[in-house]
Amino acid sequence: MQTILSSERYRLLVGFGIFLIVVTFIIGVAGCDGDNNSPLPQNLEIWDWYDLDAVRDNLEDNHTLMNDLNSATAGYIELASPTANGGKGWQSIGSTAVNDTFVGSFNGQAYEIGDLFIDRPDESDVGLFGVVETGGVIENVGVVNGNITGYEGVGSLVAYNRGTVSNSYADSNVAGDLDVGSLVGVNDGTVSTSYSSGSLTGRDGVGGLLGKNEGTVSNSYSIGIVNGHDFVGGLVGKNEGAVSNSYSTGTVAGNDFVGDLVGVNGGTVSNSYTGGTVDGNNLVGGLVGRNEGVVSKCYSTGSVTGDEHVGGLVGQNLYGVVSNSFWDTQTSGQGSSDGGTGKTTEEMQDIATFTGAGWDIADVDPGETASTYTWNIVDTVTYPFLSWQSVV
């Protein structure tokens, strides 16, 4: 009898121990993702406009675009067409409201979102995404053939970015009033390896890639048409952050504070160049309209025209620093600049001009690149180009 009782006790104790282990495991899994026991992020696939619209209900999750979206894709008429939402078109994903910013991830897998229509001229934070918060990631996606109109903070992909935008591009028509960019309206995060084309129109803070930059921009470019009034740039309208390893070769037109790369610079611009055309009235520069920050190791070759404070590289340098930078006096049509050194076309295609200024530059053969250097040049044949660019 004693042996039987001991066996039963043993089985009960073992069973109870297993129960405790299971319960402990469940509690541990439930609590491992945060102090508030919030659910783990989901991995959601986007196949049509309905799925894309559902992102606004899953702002903390991971989203993957599985194919191109355009006017032929299910849900377009109801959600992103000129007749959607009473003629206003697409409603931006995420806003400044509490718990309404996008903090998840969106991977476009190199697919495109086409034919996006937004007509909200009285609204702020207008774009495919309205507000991307710190920690949010948008990558590998293009917004093409779109027509986007807003008031303040307007961009075809993201209106206000505090997160990360990378490997993305915009080729759409964008219009707004304040802080308007083809790709991103206002950047207070990171934008890298991205580009823009298309047509852009705005009033104050208008840039081919970004309207206003307070974060970092690198390895990016713009080749679009930019029209604005004040603080107009081929890449960035107003820069208060850092721009590096980037370029603009588009067409820029404005009134005051107009630059082929940056309209007004209060931050840093380094290892960047321009080769487009810029036209304005006052404070017009081949690279920067007015510089109040730091410009280093940059150059400009495009045509520059204006009425007052016009420079081949910088229109006006106001308490800023311009170092080791150049402009082409022949192609720009400008013999002076408030900062930088003017060179002939021949000198601008001579590697000695840049090695003498401390540039990290390598002479390469046509069709080749030296990726370990910031700059490459085919000596006596090309202007310097960034090593991440496609080979010439």
Confidence check: pLDDT of 165 > 60: yes
Asked which of 33-47, 86-100, 219-233, 356-370 is least confident by mean pLDDT, the reply is 33-47
Confidence check: pLDDT of 4 > 60: no
pLDDT at residue 7, rounded to an integer: 47
- Of 2.60.120, 2.40.50, 1.10.3470, 2.160.20, which CATH number belongs to 96-352? 2.160.20
How many of the other CB atoms lie within 10 Å of CB of 247?
27
125 with 100: CB under 8 angstroms?
no
When pLDDT is cut at 50, 70 and 90, the band that residue 15 belongs to is low
pLDDT at residue 89, rounded to an integer: 98
Percentage of the chain exceeding pLDDT 90: 88
pLDDT at residue 390, rounded to an integer: 78
Confidence check: pLDDT of 28 > 70: no
- Domains in the chain: boundaries: 1-40, 96-352, 359-392
- pLDDT tens string 173-217: 999 999 999 999 999 999 999 999 999 999 999 999 999 999 999
- Per the prediction, the chain carries an average pLDDT of 92
Average pLDDT score over residue span 23-47: 63
Confidence check: pLDDT of 391 > 80: no
- pLDDT tens string 76-129: 999 999 999 999 999 999 999 989 999 999 999 999 999 999 999 999 999 999
pLDDT at residue 3, rounded to an integer: 42
pLDDT at residue 148, rounded to an integer: 98
pLDDT at residue 32, rounded to an integer: 44
When pLDDT is cut at 50, 70 and 90, the band that residue 38 belongs to is low
76 with 118: CB under 8 angstroms?
no
95 with 127: CB under 8 angstroms?
no
pLDDT at residue 13, rounded to an integer: 43
Task: With CA atoms as reference, report the closest residue to 342 among 360, 358, 325, 361.
Answer: 325
Asked which of 19-28, 134-143, 157-166 is least confident by mean pLDDT, the reply is 19-28
Confidence check: pLDDT of 29 > 70: no
When pLDDT is cut at 50, 70 and 90, the band that residue 364 belongs to is very high
Average pLDDT score over residue span 39-53: 94
Please indicate whether residue 169 or residue 391 has the higher confidence score (pLDDT). Answer: 169
Cα gap 38→351, rounded to integer Å? 57
Confidence check: pLDDT of 47 > 60: yes
